[in-house]
């Protein structure tokens, strides 16, 4: 009997640690990675000809980043690594990939989805102006290209990533106009007991805030973003907001980095027919999994932030835990002590994640206040007013029905950037709970493919 076909999608913290566990058991997994080099977004590697030290790139996470990179490099020759490869569909126990103008269908006996996370975004009037980026996009520019998105950048949103990227820009010598957090400071104080579940991570977060203050960066909590200022010719010129005391203010900036924590990249789990459930604390639909990472579909496993946002450290633990579940289901021996230890680790990360959700809440009410002229779906140029009219005139109170009538979420991103905010707009206009609106269904291809793509033999 031949070796089972085990495929890992993603080579971030979860994917790398999963691969180590599988290789240690004598398997040779296939690792499919959209990136050019392993590491994922959080530990994204610089290009081969760049020589910036780890401390400059990753700050407090430098040691963990180097350990992950070294761990992956040690797997050379024992895994089938496919970088710069897009997984665009999952169907009939096959993973469909595209790379270099060619596509291939790979069969699997076990599939580990370690797809990571993307920015969670709430639109604001003017966010379609040139010079507005997601927090992740701003970070990629710095890590992968050694450049800033502007000379004077305003960071807007909420969550740890907001402070991390701002601090990274300060360290790189870029100008930071301000950090504008929609969450009130009191929410962080109230969430402190749960945040103490990971004291080291909490300490690192406090250190980032202090570093920004020492650099003279203005930090505002409890703000309401009102408008990205500028025009079509000049792009971003500033930002208008209401501060925590209710005063309307404006700051000058030539770029805006926007983000509200993160959202799991779940499209592939959807295409794999995994069941989803609504998570009320974060107001998101997430794929269901058991404590070890098994999804509702036999042979499909979920790990890392692609299943639930628990952070990079948890991703390493859940990646290895899911790999052990694969081994157990294949009838291979698994260390019961290691299983128990990993489960304890993940429980601690889960409590910390609950604290983060309380400390940095998704500003759902902001969606109901968006001016009608605000572009909601940038791919299809659908405004908040367009979507509200769809609700009123067509009775579209469900996400996919609203999509069919308005085209919101029908562009190349398939709602990654607008889908969750659009659901909040529909819920506010229809006067129904957001979970009743549902979620946009995933469609293949999950990302655009060349028309002339050719098919390879398996």
Is residue 270 scored above 90 in pLDDT? yes
Domains of the chain: 6-118+263-356 (3.50.50.60), 121-260 (3.50.50.60), 364-437 (1.10.10.1100)
Read off the pLDDT of each residue in 368-372 and give the average, rounded to a whole number.
Answer: 94
Q: Read off the pLDDT of residues 379-406 as tens digits, 9 standing for 90 and up.
A: 999 999 999 999 999 999 999 999 999 9
Is residue 434 scored above 80 in pLDDT? yes
Angle at 448 between CA 413 and CA 435, to 5 degrees: 30
Is residue 158 scored above 90 in pLDDT? yes
Angle at 457 between CA 7 and CA 4, to 5 degrees: 30
Read off the pLDDT of each residue in 307-313 and give the average, rounded to a whole number.
Answer: 90
Read off the pLDDT of each residue in 288-316 and give the average, rounded to a whole number.
Answer: 95
Over the range 233-254, which residues count as b (16 or more CB within 10 Å of their CB) and which as e? eebbbbbbbeeeeeeeeebebb
- Contact yes or no for 172/138 (Cβ under 8 A): no
Up-side HSE of residue 22: CA atoms within 13 Å toward CB? 32
pLDDT at 51: 75
| Neighbour tally for 119: CB within 10 Å | 24
Q: What distance, in Å, lies between the first and last C-alpha atoms of the chain? A: 19
- When pLDDT is cut at 50, 70 and 90, the band that residue 61 belongs to is confident
pLDDT at 458: 57
Q: Read off the pLDDT of residues 95-142 as tens digits, 9 standing for 90 and up.
A: 999 998 899 999 999 999 999 999 999 999 999 999 999 999 999 998
Q: Which of 154, 439, 398 is nearest to 282 (CA)?
A: 439
| Neighbour tally for 72: CB within 10 Å | 25
pLDDT at 146: 82
Strand partners, 295: 289
pLDDT at 1: 54
Is residue 52 scored above 90 in pLDDT? no
Is residue 277 scored above 80 in pLDDT? yes
The string of DSSP letters for 108-122 reads -SEEEE---EEE---
Q: Which residues contact 435 (CB under 8 A, 6 or more apart)?
A: 278, 280, 283
Q: Which residues contact 275 (CB under 8 A, 6 or more apart)?
A: 287, 288, 295, 296
Q: Read off the pLDDT of residues 193-235 as tens digits, 9 standing for 90 and up.
A: 999 999 988 998 999 999 999 999 999 999 999 999 999 999 9
Read off the pLDDT of each residue in 409-415 and give the average, rounded to a whole number.
Answer: 90
Q: In the chain, what's the furthest Cα-to-Cα distance?
A: 71
Q: Read off the pLDDT of residues 335-345 as tens digits, 9 standing for 90 and up.
A: 999 999 999 99
Measured CA to CA in angstroms, residue 229 lies from 124, 299, 315, 428 at distances of 10, 49, 38, 26
């Amino acid at each position: 009997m031949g070796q089972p076909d085990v495929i890992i999608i993603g080579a971030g913290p979860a994917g790398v640690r999963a691969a180590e566990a599988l290789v240690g058991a004598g398997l040779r997994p296939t690792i499919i990675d959209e990136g050019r080099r392993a590491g994922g977004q959080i530990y994204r590697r610089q290009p081969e000809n760049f020589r910036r030290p780890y401390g400059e790139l990753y700050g407090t996470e430098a040691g963990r980043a180097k350990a992950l990179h070294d761990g992956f490099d040690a797997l050379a020759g024992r895994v089938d690594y496919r970088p710069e490869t897009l997984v665009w569909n999952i169907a009939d126990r096959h993973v469909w990939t595209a790379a270099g103008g060619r596509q291939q269908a790979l069969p699997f006996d076990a599939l580990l989805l370690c797809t990571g996370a993307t920015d969670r975004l709430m639109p604001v009037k003017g966010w379609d102006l040139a010079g507005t980026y997601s927090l992740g996009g701003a970070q990629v520019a710095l890590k992968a290209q050694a450049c800033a998105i502007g000379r004077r950048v305003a960071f807007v949103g909420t969550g740890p990533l907001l402070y991390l990227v701002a601090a990274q820009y300060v360290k790189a010598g870029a100008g930071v106009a301000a950090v504008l957090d929609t969450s009130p400071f009191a929410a962080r104080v109230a969430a402190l007991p749960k945040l103490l579940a990971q004291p080291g991570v909490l300490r690192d977060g406090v250190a980032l805030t202090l570093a920004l203050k020492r650099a003279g960066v203005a930090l505002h909590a409890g703000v309401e973003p009102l408008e990205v200022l500028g025009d079509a010719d000049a792009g971003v010129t500033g930002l208008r907001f209401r501060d925590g005391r209710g005063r309307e203010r404006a700051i000058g900036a030539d770029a805006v980095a926007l983000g509200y924590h993160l959202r799991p990249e779940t499209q592939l789990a959807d295409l794999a027919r995994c069941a989803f459930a609504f998570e009320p604390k974060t107001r998101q639909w997430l794929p269901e999994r058991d404590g070890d990472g098994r999804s509702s579909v036999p042979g499909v496993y979920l790990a890392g932030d692609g299943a639930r946002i628990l952070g990079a450290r948890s991703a390493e633990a859940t990646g290895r835990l899911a790999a052990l579940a694969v081994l157990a289901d294949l009838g291979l021996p698994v260390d019961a002590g290691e299983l128990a230890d990993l489960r304890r680790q993940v429980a601690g990360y889960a409590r910390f994640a609950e604290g983060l959700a309380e400390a940095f809440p998704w500003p759902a009410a902001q969606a109901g206040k968006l001016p009608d002229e605000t572009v909601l779906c940038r791919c299809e140029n659908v405004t908040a007013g367009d979507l509200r009219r769809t609700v009123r005139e067509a009775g579209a109170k469900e996400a996919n029905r609203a999509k069919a009538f308005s085209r919101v979420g029908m562009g190349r991103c398939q709602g990654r950037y607008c889908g969750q905010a659009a659901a909040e707009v529909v819920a506010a206009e229809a006067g129904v709970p957001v979970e009743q609106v549902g979620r946009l269904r995933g469609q293949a291809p999950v990302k655009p493919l060349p028309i002339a793509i050719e098919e390879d033999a398996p």
